Amino acid sequence: MAETNGRGVMSAVRTALVTVVLLVPAALVALLVVVPKVTGGMSLTVLTGSMEPNINPGDIVVTRGITTAQAAGLKVGQVITFLPYPDNPMLVTHRITAKSADAKGVSFTTKGDNNNDTDAWDPVHDYQVRGQVLYTVPKLGWVRQWVGNKISWLVIGLAIVLIGYGVFAFATAGRKGKQTDDDDSCHSARNEVESQNPEDPLRHSARSEVESQNPEDPLRHSARNEVESQNPEATEGPNRVAPEPEPELVPVYAPRRAAP
C-alpha cells in the first residue's frame, strides 16, 4: 500500500513538473510574441522609473500598433508608446494628460506618472505614436536583457530537457506495461492450474488429515451445539443430531395363582 502511494505521489510530481516546464514557456511566448504580432504592436523593456509605481524598471510593456488615423481615437488617461524626436529611434512610454486637434491633426500632452512636470517635447503628434499599452509583465525585462544573445542556447537547453523527459516517460511506461503483463500471466497461470485441478488430492488429503486428528474438536462441537440451540426445530442439515427414541413400554403379564 505504501509503495502504491509513493508511486502515486511521484507520478503527480512528474506531471506537475511537466506542466510547469511546458505551460510557462508557452504562456510567455503567447504574451510576449504572439499577442504583439497579432495586434501589430511590440514588447518593450522599461529602463527607467518615470512611470512608477504602475510600471517599474525591468517590466515588459506589450503594446498594440497604432496608425496615424487610429491615434485620433486615443483618450486622456491611456498610456502610449511614441517617438519623442522624429530622428531618434528611442521610444518613450508615458500617459496622455491632454489632447488637442488642429489643422495639422491630433496632438497629445504626455507625462510620466512619477514625474512632476509634463514632458519637455510637448506636444506629441499623432504620427509620432507607435502603440497603446495593453498590459505589463513584471520584471521579465531583466531576464530578457540578461539573456540577450543567449536565447538560442536557452532554446537548445529546453529542447534537451524535454527530449530527456520524453525518453524517461517512455521507459517508465514500458516498465509499467511489462509489470502488468507479468501480473496478468501469473493470474492466468494460477487460474489454469485451479481449473485443471478442481479437487486437488493434496489439498483434500491435508484437510482430511486435520479432521482425523481432531475427530472431537471441542470448538467444532460447541459451535454445532450453539447452532442447534438457536434452531431447535431444524430437521435437516449436516450438523443436526437425531434425538434418541424414547423407550417402548412393554406390558408384563404375571401368572395368576390358583385359590387354595
**Residue 55 and residue 108 in one domain:** yes
- In this prediction, residue 63 carries a pLDDT of 97
Q: Is residue 128 part of a domain?
A: yes
Better-predicted residue by pLDDT, 223 or 174: 174
Q: Number of folded domains in the chain?
A: 2
**Residue 46 and residue 134 in one domain:** yes
Q: Is residue 9 part of a domain?
A: yes
Domain holding 7, by residue range, is 1-39
**Residue 50 and residue 84 in one domain:** yes
What residue type is assigned to position 152 of the chain?
Answer: S
Q: 210 falls in which pLDDT band (50, 70, 90)? A: very low
- The residue among 108, 138, 168 that closes a domain is 138
- Average confidence score pLDDT of the chain: 75
DSSP string, 86-136: TT----EEEEEEEEEEETTEEEEEEE-TT-SS--TT--EEGGGEEEEEEEE
- In this prediction, residue 234 carries a pLDDT of 46
Q: Is residue 213 part of a domain?
A: no
pLDDT above 70 for 235: no
**Residue 21 and residue 48 in one domain:** no
pTM over 0.85: no
Q: What is the CATH number of the domain that holds 81?
A: 2.10.109.10
The three cell numbers locating residue 8:
502515486
